[in-house]
Structure 1
């Protein structure tokens, strides 16, 4: 079976509902650093600020076919004061287990590389989140440190 072609595009206002649903999905919450449910008002404030921010980039991964667009995930890059970018990924529940995560993360990293050039990427992952650890390792991230059940990984983009 051929994998669908994944593309990423900047998040738009009409992506808000999907992102809130993905964030509050029980599987997502189980591996998140913050495992609480996010309410609509808090999400709406966060999302409006995120879209307006110059230091936060949210990319939506989509599969386009037959004139329609199916959202399959998101990747967020938060630029720190030191110029590094913290990476977060979340797949739509219906896209999980289909082998898309590598393509989604790869497309997002390539989009950031085209925009920002050589940067340091960081990811913070719960030690029990083995699928994310494998995903980031396959993308070239290396473990820098682990404490309190959380690993900190990095990848230098050239």
Structure 2
């Protein structure tokens, strides 16, 4: 289940984002400081082009879904990303089911609640598992580009999913 993130979720979000597994598949791989995180949270809470949702599994918070660059008039597009409590889910043996569920729920939210026509995102080139999962959900990869982030060269692959191509339950 997805619900709007609250101030009570902020410390959990930071701890999940700073897990090594999540940092290695993010454009910025440094540990996010509490101050950086507080600035981010302060900005996103009042930004009409953003939504931050908490993913609940069996009533327990265990992930974050962010929607950003939302254009809800005219073209109806937006971008998204997510990360999970990789360590907690792995300990409980729930990583794959949680991953499938959060992607399904995020895509449903994008098209059903936000009424987007196209959902965009990015994935790092070396993240082959996520790239496979994206294809399973019918995301299409665009032209890769090289970027420098946190002093490392990364390959960023844009992805998109059109409303007409989404996999329905």
**If the TM-score is normalised by the length of the shorter chain, which range does it land in?**
0.7 to 0.9
In the TM superposition, 1:5-154 aligns within 5 A as 7-64=1-58, 69-80=59-70, 83-93=76-86, 94-96=88-90, 97-148=95-146, 149-154=155-160
When normalised by structure 1's length, the TM-score is 0.85
Spell out structure 1 runs of 4+ moving beyond 3 A. Answer: 80-83
Tell me how far 1:63 sits from its aligned partner. 1.9
CA RMSD of aligned residues (A): 1.6
CA distance in 2, matches of 1:118, 1:78: 12
Partner of 2:152 in structure 1? Answer: none
Aligned length: 148
Partner of 1:155 in structure 2? Answer: 161
Name stretches of at least 5 consecutive residues in structure 2 with no aligned partner: 147-154, 165-169
When normalised by structure 2's length, the TM-score is 0.80
CA distance in 2, matches of 1:126, 1:76: 17
